[in-house]
Amino acid sequence: MFRGFSWRFFDFSLLGAVIIAIIFGVMMIRSAVAGNEEIAPSVNRQIIYASIGLAVLFFAAAMDYHYWDALRLPMYLATMFLLILLFMSARAVFGAARWFQIGQIFIQPTELTKIVVILLLARYFERTQDRRHDLRWVFGSFFWVGTLAIWILLQPNLSNVIVLIVLWMTLLWLSGLDWKYLVAFALGGMILAVVSFPFLRPYQQQRVLNFLFPDPNARHGAVYNVLQALIAIGSGGLTGKGYGQGTQVQLRFLKVRHTDFVFSTVAEEFGLVGVLFILGLLSFIVFRCLHIARHAPDLMGKLIASGVATLIFFQGAVNIGVNLNVIPVAGLPLPFISYGGSGLLSLMLGIGLVESVAIRSRRE
């Protein structure tokens, strides 16, 4: 299970960037929740999640990533069970049943599903390379994604279903699928998105309409929060108002400022300098994952590292896009920065898997 592990081959630059991002995230969460007793415990919880996440990262890095092949079916079935159980029994929060609540802690199985899908597809594509010119190969891979995505869609949680589709299409392309098929799938997806609009949930339709036709006088809801986010970002200037000094944040005009809109918190308090710091840090993490993918000893390792890089890049881009009002509100966190235990632990597991690929690559 742990063969080939050596600290000599550990990518400490990747680990260092992740730790810096988490520390900065905890700082921003602390500023965002200051003076609010209801969510003040979020800081200590995030520190605990990060500590557990580091242990998960080191364990995943030490374990040979090929060992996950033996666990792929149990992981798939366990994830399916959790998603079905969530659909049947979870309490709705913000209009959707996406979390199990244990005391004051919320557990979101969907976050783990993303890593499970990366592992399942990486192994599937490696074992079926000789069939990559057969469309049954494509539909076979979609089975693993679709049977999990349907339960996420029923929560409802469209944004995370889109994340899974992006992961699937990216890994398909990296596995050798002709780009013409990818273009056809992408065009088909866009047509499907337009055609399916009347069948979306009312709140999902409203998010799109709010994005296309925003009300500048909104006093509540998604439009109001996006407007407050834009005010926060615009008022930050070059260097920001100072840590803990952002008026949109500290006076609580900006809602969910420690989760979905933490980027706006950074922009208001640290300005363009803080924004560039975050962008540079996340870009470095993504590029280190892609570098490891390029030097992976086999296709499975390449797809694992590429999948984690895609996950971090896509979620980060969507989160920042929402804050800048260039895409509709989606509810995806800013990787390593936003508050959230399930998301952070899943990303730490993903980074651990990438480190496992890096270690085995250098050994060979």
Give 340's DSSP letter. -
Nearest to 138 by CA among 170, 177, 95, 82: 177
Nearest to 109 by CA among 164, 67, 59: 164
CA distances from 47 to 29, 120, 269 (A): 11, 30, 21
Handedness of CA 21, 23, 26, 31 (dihedral sign): negative
41: preceding bond cis by omega (within 30 degrees): no
Residues 6+ apart with CB under 8 A from 281: 17, 20, 21, 24
CA distances from 329 to 94, 211, 343 (A): 13, 8, 18
pLDDT by residue for the chain (364 residues), tens digit each? 666 667 778 899 999 999 999 999 999 999 998 877 778 888 999 999 999 999 999 999 999 999 988 888 898 999 999 898 888 875 555 445 566 666 666 778 899 999 999 999 999 999 988 777 777 888 889 998 999 999 998 887 889 999 999 999 999 999 988 777 778 877 887 887 777 767 666 766 766 666 565 655 555 566 778 888 999 999 999 999 999 898 888 878 888 888 889 999 999 999 999 999 999 999 999 999 999 999 999 999 999 999 999 999 999 999 999 999 998 888 899 999 999 889 999 999 999 999 999 998 875 5
- The residues spanned by each domain of the chain are 7-363
Q: How many Cβ atoms from other residues are within 10 Å of residue 10's Cβ?
A: 18
Beta-carbon-side half-sphere exposure of residue 179 (alpha carbons within 13 Å): 0
pTM for the full model?
Answer: 0.90
